[in-house]
A and B are shown apart, each in its own frame.
Chain A
Amino acid sequence: MSGKIYISRDGLAAAMEKLSRTMDVWTPAASAKDKWGVEFALYEPGVKPILDRQSTLSPKKTIFPQVEPLFQFERTKDPEDPSKTLIRLKDRPDAKPAIIFGAHPCDARGFFTFDKVFMEGPYKDPIYKDKREKTVIASVVCRECDDACFCSAVGGGPAEKEGSDIWITPVEDGYVLEAITPKGEPILEGLGAAATSQQEAAAAKVQEEAAQQVIAGGMKMTGETAEFMKHFEDKAFWQSAIAGCISCGVCTFVCPTCYCFTITDEARDTEGDRLRSWDSCMFYHYTLEASGHNPRPNNTDRYRNRLGHKFAYFPEKYDGMIACTGCGRCIRNCPASINIWKIAQSLKEQADACM
């Protein structure tokens, strides 16, 4: 037996219902009635999964929520000495087991960037680690590549299994599911009937076709540190590259790899939370220093940093890993249609032309 199972399109809700009894089930669904956008939501009866369209925001929020309390605090008076204030801390509860059901391969790979930063030291983040280890990622083979995609140029691909625990292949009327890591195996037990050889063959064909999609003209990219540094001071290049950038947080919030955060104490009366929340390097306050000085006062400085971080600084620090999965979300959702892939390309082309 191959261990592959088949779930019919109509049976998907029942399968999710079953999973949701023991774990949080995150699945892409319409963000609201009559809206085009898709977002990852916790499964509950009535939620209709949309597995054939990319979500507006990546599923990073399932493991790295937009806001999360690191702990709660409470100030009390010391009954022995009322001039003293005591602070009582309350730990957060442990994470619940969860599954992301219907990620895309580029979404799954996004967590590699987080893993490097939050789990491989020197500072290990217990909150991230706890959730990451308890979350199973079930990805759908991608047949939805468009002109903003460039996954295969940065190490991924529409049929790239790396980063996923379960592989979902849409076939006619249903899905073939396959566990590709030990973490994925127990999830599939009893979740559906064993796939027939016909269904398996159909799935293999879908995967093959998906893998053959030509993305970003077949270009490949490695770390671009040298090219990036050559253009670092070239103000005209950056100004023309990002004409129209409004310095909002869309690109960083939709991104599956942007992991920057801020920490604030949010208190009301004597109680409060120490919150970790998404920050964006495109925001003015991101680099604002206590003195009032801001080393990145304008949008060109900020955008240069964003691109540099993904394609130069990160690979330099982490064994050549590019902190971008080519999902294309920042391109599609940018209010000014700024194309990070094209800018990264033109860094290279212009550097080549200089040589």
Chain B
Amino acid sequence: MTTTDIEQLHKLMEDALPELEALIGWQPGYDALHAAPAIARTPEEASRLVFNPFCIHNLARTVAKTPPPPAKEGEAPKKIGVCVKGCDSRSIIALIQEGFLKREQLYIIGIPCKGTIDLRRLMKLAGEDLRAGVKSARIEGDSLVVEGAKGSRSFPLEKVLARRCMRCKYPNPVIYDVMAGDPVIPRASEEEAHKDVDAVENLPVAERLAFWQGELDRCIRCYACRNACPLCMCQDRCIAETRDPKWLPQYMGLSEKFIFHFIHAMHLAGRCTECGECERVCPQEIPVTLIKEKLNRITKELLDYEAGVSTEAVPPFLTFNPEELGI
């Protein structure tokens, strides 16, 4: 965001805040390469909110699963304000469609997004240079410019953006009350959006199996992927953890990991909006969103449905149509 955009964003926040219970946005994180979700209630707190390519968290999850409680107990809550990127806005739509959020209880500040940074990709390129003492970082044109302890360095965006951003068709919020900044041009076309799925799918079956065995074997069952998902709704009743009935043993074998990940994915069929949070939060760098991208492609081909683009649409698995379209 440019300085003008940030000023505009703060102006929008300031105007909206008096009517809001709280405003969910991002604040600076522990260094210049991190941001963190934040809940602002006062103009002073709102003035500390930021937007930059490190605002990687999907705040739809926060507003849906851990919304800030009313400041005064007993009083009817006011609207909750939430800042959204394009991908976050699609999660909001899906949550409204499924009845987890009510449109009239939200005040949505949309922010066009030029992409978020995958820190591991960045560190692989930058190595030692950016380990500590980074002063600032910003997107300039097609580059990420980082002012590090050893001077300024520039990185091509396509080498440091998150995979989800490289295939993003919706950088501009799809649902919003106000928009901060001008729309940006999508990075990927319809055809390009699933090229990562193609790459895996084009592998011979044995190699494809080996690929997933290798990736999923690193899973540590920390459930960050599940908990980060705005649409994963079983939560405390997840089959991976329930004790009565107990579906999955505590073993760390490949079969337990496969079962968890594929059930997670199947529960998102026709629902996942590809925000990529499951993949971003994985401490083990497992490309878990790929499984959901594949399911989305099947959903698109068979049912002509894309999740999280219209609050009016009914998700295919929330309806029963005797003449199921396209099947």
- Which residues on A are within 8 Å of B, measured CB to CB? 31-32, 35-37, 39, 56-57, 66-67, 144-148, 239-240, 243-250, 253-254, 262, 264, 266, 275, 277, 280, 283-285, 298-299, 331, 333, 335-339, 342
Contacts and interface: CB of A to CB of B under 8 A. Distances in A.
B283 A284 contact: no
Contact of B30 (A31, A145, A335, A337): A337
Scoring A146, A148, A331 by chain B CB atoms within 10 A of each residue's CB, the highest score goes to A146
B285 A36 contact: yes
Nearest to A37: B285
Interface string B7-40: 0000000000000000010000111001111110
A264 B250 contact: yes
A23 to B, nearest CB: 23
B37 A243 contact: yes
Contacts of B131: 144, 146
A335 B251 CA distance: 25
A319 to B, nearest CB: 30
B36 A37 contact: no
A290 to B, nearest CB: 9
19 contacts: A32-B214, A32-B215, A36-B123, A37-B283, A67-B252, A146-B131, A244-B57, A244-B66, A248-B228, A248-B281, A249-B221, A254-B283, A264-B249, A266-B250, A277-B252, A283-B223, A285-B243, A335-B57, A339-B29
B69 interface: yes
A36 B119 CA distance: 10
A248 B57 CA distance: 14
Nearest to A35: B285
B280 A335 contact: yes
B156 interface: no
A182 B75 CA distance: 67
Interface string B53-71: 0000101011001101100
Contact of A32 (B62, B218, B250): B218
A239 B277 CA distance: 22
B228 A335 contact: yes
Given A243-B62, A266-B249, A285-B241, A249 B222 contact: yes
Scoring A147, A253, A280 by chain B CB atoms within 10 A of each residue's CB, the highest score goes to A147
Nearest to B244: A290
B250 A67 contact: yes
Interface size class of B (residues with CB under 8 A): 35 or more
A36 B121 CA distance: 8
A342 B222 contact: no
Interface string B100-138: 000000000000000000001101100000011110000
A250 B285 contact: no
Contacts of B228: 246, 248, 335
B227 A31 contact: no
B323 interface: no
A147 B65 CA distance: 30
Contacts of B281: 246, 248, 250, 335
Nearest to A149: B132
Contacts of A275: 249-251
A275 B227 CA distance: 25
B250 A250 contact: no
A342 B30 contact: yes
B189 interface: no
B132 A246 contact: no
A243 B241 contact: no
Given A32-B214, A248-B224, A336 B57 contact: yes
A67 B251 contact: yes
A284 B62 CA distance: 17
Interface string B196-238: 0000000000000000001100101111101110000001100
B284 interface: yes
B37 A244 contact: yes
Contacts of A31: 218, 284-285
A248 B223 contact: yes
Scoring A148, A244, A266, A298 by chain B CB atoms within 10 A of each residue's CB, the highest score goes to A244
A337 B134 CA distance: 16
A36 B124 contact: yes
B22 to A, nearest CB: 10
Interface in B252-283: 252, 277, 280-281, 283
Contacts of B242: 285
Closest 5 CB pairs of A and B: A244-B37, A335-B281, A337-B36, A249-B222, A248-B224
B252 A338 contact: no
A243 B39 contact: yes
Nearest to A285: B241
Contact of A246 (B69, B120, B121, B227): B227
Given A35-B285, A248-B227, A262-B250, A284 B235 contact: yes
Contact of B224 (A250, A285, A299): A250
Nearest to B220: A253
Contacts of B220: 57, 66, 249, 253
A282 to B, nearest CB: 9
Contacts of B236: 284-285
A331 B66 contact: no
A28 B276 CA distance: 28
A66 B35 CA distance: 30
A239 B39 contact: yes
B29 A337 contact: yes
